[in-house]
Amino acid sequence: MEWGGQAFVLTIIAITTGGWVLNNWIRARHGYPLEDEWGGKTERAETGETKALKAENRQLHDMLDAMKDRMIVLEKIVTDRGYSLADEIEALRDKDAGVPLNIESKEKA
């Protein structure tokens, strides 16, 4: 193959065109904006499916945030009062006030 010949020029054109097509195919596959031949970008159009997925994603993020808040509260309850809670329950059982729980007599009957 001659360096300045017609076949060399056509090979270079074919390689660059193939690279451009491959680049756009990869970009389209992964959701990036496509490049046109003048260097501009073409954004992907939003379809009903992508809008629904974005709405579901937003809803799941909100649920996750709520669960994180609940977990923080539960961690505070467990770490702050976890060990004294059993003592407080036993202290309430030991008091004479209130109605006794005759658990043993109900189990035997």
Report the Cα–Cα distance between both ends of the chain, in Å, rounded. 103
pLDDT for 105 equals 52
Q: Which residue has the higher pLDDT, 11 or 91?
A: 11
- Banded pLDDT at 37 (limits 50, 70, 90): low
Average pLDDT score over residue span 42-54: 78
Q: What is the 3-state secondary structure (H, E, C) of 21-84?
A: HHHHHHHHHCCCCEECCCCCEECCCCCHHHHHHHHHHHHHHHHHHHHHHHHHHHHHHHHHHHHH
What per-residue confidence (pLDDT) applies to 67? Answer: 94
For 35, phi then psi, to 5°, come to -100, 135
Q: Residue 104 — very low, low, confident or very high, per pLDDT cuts 50/70/90?
A: low
Report field, pTM of the whole predicted structure over 0.85? no
**Six-digit token string for 74:** 């539960």
Looking from the CA of 105 toward its CB, the CA atoms found within 13 Å total: 3
Which sequence spans correspond to the domains of the chain? 1-44, 46-95
pLDDT tens sequence across 54-98: 999 999 999 999 999 999 888 877 776 556 677 777 777 766 555
Of 63, 22, 31, 35, residue with least CA distance to 49: 31
State the pLDDT at residue 31: 75
Tell me how far the alpha carbon of residue 70 is from its chain's centroid. 18
Please say if the pLDDT value at position 100 is more than 90. no
pLDDT, residue 102, reads: 60
pLDDT of 99 reads 57
